[in-house]
Amino acid sequence: MSDSTPVDGPYPIKVTATPSGAELDVSAFLFKAVFTELITKADDDPEGLVDELRDMAELLRSAAHGGRDSHARHEFDERMNGMLAEYANDGLIPVYGEQVGRLRDKLAEIAAPRPVPSQQARRAS
C-alpha cells in the first residue's frame, strides 16, 4: 500500500491532493464491480441489457424535456437506483478496519491549510 492509497481492499481507493481539494480514485470499484457486472449481464442477456439501456435513454430524454418533477424524471431516478443496486452495490464502497483511519488521516492531511504555489515560490527566494 502506498501513502496515496489508504484503502487497499476490497476496492483500492487512491487519494490525491488537488489545488482546490482532493480526488478520490475509485476506478478499481468501477472496474471490478460495476463494469464486471454490466459485462456479465451483457454476456448473459445482451438483448435485455440493450433494451434496458435504450429505455433509460428514452426516460432521460423525456426527463430533460419534462423537468425535475416530471413522471419521466421520477421513473428514471427509480430505475437508476435499481441499476445502482444491481450493478454497483447501491453505490457503496466498503472500507474496513484500519483502512477507515488511513482514509480519514489522508483526507485530513489534504484538508489541512497549505501554502499556495506562489507563496512557496516567494519563500524559496
Q: What is the pTM of this model?
A: 0.75
- List, for residues 16-73, the tens digit of each pLDDT value: 999 999 999 999 999 998 999 999 999 999 999 999 999 999 999 999 998 888 999 9
**Cα separation of 37 and 43, whole Å?**
10
Q: Domain-by-domain residue ranges, the chain?
A: 1-26+93-110, 44-92
Going by C-alpha positions, the residue among 53, 47, 58 that lies closest to residue 87 is: 53
Going by C-alpha positions, the residue among 28, 21, 38, 22 that lies closest to residue 7 is: 28
